[in-house]
């Protein structure tokens, strides 16, 4: 037995040396659980969460997530968080349904649970924070084009597929608010099927069919990049402004060349910030998540909950030459 005893004894000594001082327990501990670690978008959200923690005071952020984007991995992470009796869990879920039993258990043990970015089914969380809403996105994409056309002009829409649910809703919402932008005419809507080459050809076709075209709105991250390239290749930089929804990392070139004046997408920093403030409010009893409730979220205004306890954070965030450099390395 002597070998075994020695091993145990040395392990005990090692642990005694390693354990160190007891953990501080006074802080409100909010866990920001993401789809997987090492993704720029979520690292930025964590930055926002830290900002909120500094503002709120006495808040400790636990930024965590699995290595791969799996529901099983997130469940292991959540189980560890439940065991630590954290005060709140704010999660961007890998699976709408699979996390529900575990998150229910967390709520049963008195932990505040909210989802953000990618939601959890209503029974598995207290509220869900959407980065934006369809109405806000619909308004934003036409506003982006109109802002650079003070005297009005012709714009065209380059969408994804004819059946793409999101894009169709956004274009519908855009049509609803066209009255707010007098002088702006939508002359055509084409579909690039979210394929780079088809989107490129459709953008070329738009410029040929409408020589007076002033802007192309592409509410899809594939289409917007392809359209910007088509504008550059046609030598129409400065004549046709490409805008819509895109990723800063992919659109940095288009901003630099001037093919795109500005475009929009959610801001992950704001998202992490808002999720943290909301989780804090609910955990501290400063707010209750119920349909119709209006919960303040610091510098981002307040969140109004619908019948599903979901709310939209804000307008999509606008990226242009002034801030693209800061965001292009993030996502």
Residues binding other proteins (CB under 8 A): 1, 3-4, 7-8, 11-12, 14-16, 18-19, 22-23, 36-38, 62, 64-68, 70-73, 75-77, 79-80, 82-85, 95-98, 100-101
Closer to other proteins by CB, 121 or 293: give it: 121
Residue 71 or 149: the one with the smaller Cβ distance to other proteins is 71
Closer to other proteins by CB, 72 or 197: give it.
72
CB of 186 to other proteins, least distance (A): 31
- CA torsion through residues 70, 74, 40, 323, sign: positive
Q: Which CB, 128 or 328, lies closer to other proteins?
A: 128
Cβ proximity to other proteins: between 80 and 321 the closer is 80
Q: In what order do the strands lie in the sheet with 88-91?
A: 59-64, 28-33, 88-91, 112-116, 127-130, 310-312
Minimum distance of other proteins from residue 14's CB (angstroms): 7
In the complex, the smallest distance separating the C-beta of residue 64 from other proteins, rounded to whole angstroms, is 5
CB 30 to other proteins: min, Å: 12
Spatial distance between the Cα atoms of 218 and 224, rounded to a whole number of angstroms = 5
Q: Would you call 14 helix, strand, or coil by DSSP?
A: helix
What are residue 135's phi and psi, to 5 degrees? -65, -40
Provide the minimum distance between the beta carbon of 248 and other proteins in the complex, in angstroms, as a whole number.
25
Locate all alpha helices (DSSP H) within the chain, ordered by sequence.
Answer: 2-19, 40-56, 71-83, 100-108, 134-147, 165-176, 196-209, 221-233, 248-257, 268-283, 324-327
Q: Which is nearer to other proteins, 65 or 219 (CB)?
A: 65
- Strand 294-296 relative to strand 302-304: parallel, antiparallel, unpaired? antiparallel
- The DSSP output letter for 315 is S
Q: Closer to other proteins by CB, 29 or 128: give it.
A: 29
Q: CA distances (Å), 177 to each of 138, 140, 142, 181, 226, in order?
A: 8, 10, 9, 8, 26
CA distance 93 to 234: 42
């Amino acid at each position: 037995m002597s070998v075994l005893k020695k091993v145990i004894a040395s392990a005990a000594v090692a642990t005694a040396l390693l354990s160190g001082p007891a953990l501080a327990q006074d802080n409100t501990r909010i866990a920001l659980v993401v789809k997987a670690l090492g993704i720029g978008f979520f690292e930025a959200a964590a930055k926002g969460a830290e900002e909120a923690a500094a503002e709120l005071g006495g808040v400790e952020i636990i930024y965590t997530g699995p290595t791969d984007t799996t529901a099983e991995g997130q469940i292991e992470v959540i189980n560890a968080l439940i065991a630590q009796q954290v005060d709140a869990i704010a999660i961007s879920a890998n699976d709408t349904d699979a996390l529900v039993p575990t998150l229910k258990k967390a709520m049963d043990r008195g932990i505040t649970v909210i989802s953000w970015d990618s939601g959890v089914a209503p029974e598995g969380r207290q509220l869900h924070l959407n980065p934006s809403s369809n109405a806000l996105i619909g308004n934003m994409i036409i506003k982006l084009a109109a802002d650079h056309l003070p005297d009005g002009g012709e714009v065209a829409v380059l969408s994804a597929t004819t059946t793409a649910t999101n894009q169709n809703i956004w274009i519908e919402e855009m049509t609803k608010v066209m009255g707010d932008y007098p002088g702006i005419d939508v002359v055509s809507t084409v579909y690039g099927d979210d394929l780079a080459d088809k989107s490129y050809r459709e953008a070329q076709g738009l410029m040929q069919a409408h020589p007076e075209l002033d802007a192309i709105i592409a509410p899809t991250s594939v289409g917007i990049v392809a359209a910007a390239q088509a504008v550059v290749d046609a030598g129409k930089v400065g004549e046709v402004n490409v805008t819509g929804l895109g990723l800063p990392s992919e659109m940095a070139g288009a901003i630099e060349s001037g093919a795109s004046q500005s475009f929009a997408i959610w801001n992950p920093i704001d998202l992490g910030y808002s999720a943290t403030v909301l989780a804090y409010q609910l955990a501290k009893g400063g707010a209750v998540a119920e349909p119709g409730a209006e919960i303040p979220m610091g510098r981002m205004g307040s969140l109004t909950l619908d019948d599903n306890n979901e709310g939209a954070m804000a307008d999509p965030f606008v990226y242009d030459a002034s801030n693209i450099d800061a965001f292009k390395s993030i996502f």
